[in-house]
Structure 1
């Protein structure tokens, strides 16, 4: 093991949400995973993690998420993976201020894991490269690397082959209709589109937001009427799409005022917020990376 470096002060860091501005499923691999093409973009809205170092090597997370055992939480798994990879003997107290809905398609768990990796790398003074941290993150989930690298990206494979891109940065209204979508149920549904012809990144970007779509949306509509209702309600007000496998849906607006003006009319029982699209992660801005 390497010697433990001096502890830094506590760090309070963002774990931003992401949107899939485009999501195509272009095939299915022999191992059961699906080949994807997608455009990831960050939002200036998300969870917050506060990290404080410990001398004894213990990893303590508060609060516990309902229905998620500590050992299964991606934050704890990321912290322990980093300890093993680096040989660091330090630990951490981690407090999660959870704002993103579980299973909403906003990448909350993956973003939390990435913030843990980058935050503890800074807190523990490890100095690992983004490439090395992204490789670690990939073992935790396919969406973790884009949060580690911290730039809007065109992604292929299972979402891990990333090319940085510059997207438009409108304001968004994001709605969670109060239902939990099962990603395995969506990807195993017989009606899911699995053979959309691949396109080039250049063609996707040239087409622009008006041409982007999510191949999961028809299946999620059929399986989850609440999501279909949210999509239909929001689509009467602005161009609307599902993010990931849902359950969150989003619409883009040219101005903050137009986006915020919609919130007062959102039906009861739905969670809704406005956020600005970002091409650089606020986590990287906070850490100066």
Structure 2
């Protein structure tokens, strides 16, 4: 058996933080979207589970032998082992759900090879709040801590996307801690396009207070004629959506010239 699966980059087209919960987590409303690019997992049958990491950001994994990919494998019942070669193309601690996307890809791989158990959603939730959404990797509204998923009309599929990161890791915990605690209102209803246009990211300002370079990225994207630009998740990656791939590619070329040290990835919304 040989399977190849993409761990699709996750972006938050809107992210409304409503309240701090007594359990330490935050009640939020978000519009999850996924880009048709990300990490790549190549899987083969093996006597026992094994993980091999390659790619630009492989060295950033604190412990590649005990990361979320191995945790996802351990969370799912199987009759044989799997060897996974993870090509880590997404930056770590970047607001793209990279680890969650990798875990989601593992769930899809196991689903193809063995099927998923009935309680897969609970197993995914235990791995991380973004993991259930990343298993499906389809546009959805997330509520609660992000694990309660609702369908949404996806009228943005195929839209050109540019992801940009200043190559600065930003941990999620400190950004949530820096949030001022003000409930600025619920996420709007409607189609994906309507929510994205009227929504916001309540973590943008707290993230900029920790990583000022995010403001530079947003300013550069704003000047590139996007349909929409915003920070994803808790940062530091920002995204811009364009009405055509040609406009996106011109923006990518200019940013690469002006800021050669910034990371970029191009794609389309799924």
TM-score by structure 2 length?
A: 0.89
User: Whole-Å Cα distance in 2 between the matches of residues 21 and 206 of structure 1?
Assistant: 9
CA distance in 1: counterparts of 2:220 and 2:187, whole angstroms: 30
Written as runs of structure 1 = structure 2, the 5 A alignment for 1:134-173 is: 134-167=121-154, 168-169=156-157, 170-173=159-162
Instruction: Assess if the C-alpha contact under 8 Å between 2:16 and 2:187 holds in 1.
Output: no
Is residue 219 of structure 1 aligned with residue 209 of structure 2?
A: no
Tell me what 1:230 maps to.
217
| Cα distance in 1, alignment partners of residues 251 and 192 from structure 2 | 28
Question: Is 1:177 paired with 2:166?
Answer: yes
Q: What is the CA deviation profile of residues 187-237 of structure 1, one whole-angstrom value per residue up to 9, with x for unaligned ones?
A: 111x534422224534x7584432221000011112211111111111122
With 250-259 and 232-241 compared, the bigger mean Cα shift is at 232-241
For residue 14 of structure 2, the aligned residue among 22, 29, 34 is 22
Shift of 1:71: 4.8
Contact 1:27 1:196 in 2 (8 A): no
CA contact (8 A) 1:154 1:201 kept: no
Please say if 1:92 is aligned against 2:86.
Answer: no
Matches of residues 257-276 of structure 1 in structure 2 within 5 Å?
257-266=246-255, 267-276=259-268
The whole-number CA distance in structure 2 between the counterparts of 1:30 and 1:186 is: 18
In the aligned structure 1, how far is the partner of 2:200 from the partner of 2:67? Answer: 31
State the alpha-carbon separation in 1 of the partners of residues 187 and 6 from structure 2: 33
Q: Which runs of 5+ in 1 are unaligned?
A: 1-8, 279-289
Separation in 2 of the partners of 1:71 and 1:206?
A: 40
What do residues 29-56 of structure 1 show as CA deviations (whole Å, max 9, x unaligned)?
10110001000011111111011112x3
- Superposition deviation, residue 137 in structure 1: 0.8
Distance 1:206 1:93, change over 3 A: closer
Distance 1:90 1:206 in 2: 43
In structure 2, stretches of 5+ residues that fail to align are none
1:198 aligns with 2:192: no
Q: TM-score, normalised by structure 1?
A: 0.84
Answer yes or no: is the 8 Å Cα contact 2:14–2:31 preserved in 1: yes
Alpha-carbon distance in 2 for matches of 1:44, 1:181? 23
Does residue 114 of the first structure (1) align with residue 123 of the second (2)?
A: no
- Across the aligned residues of Structure 1 and Structure 2, the Cα RMSD in angstroms comes to 1.9
Map of 2:93 onto structure 1: 103
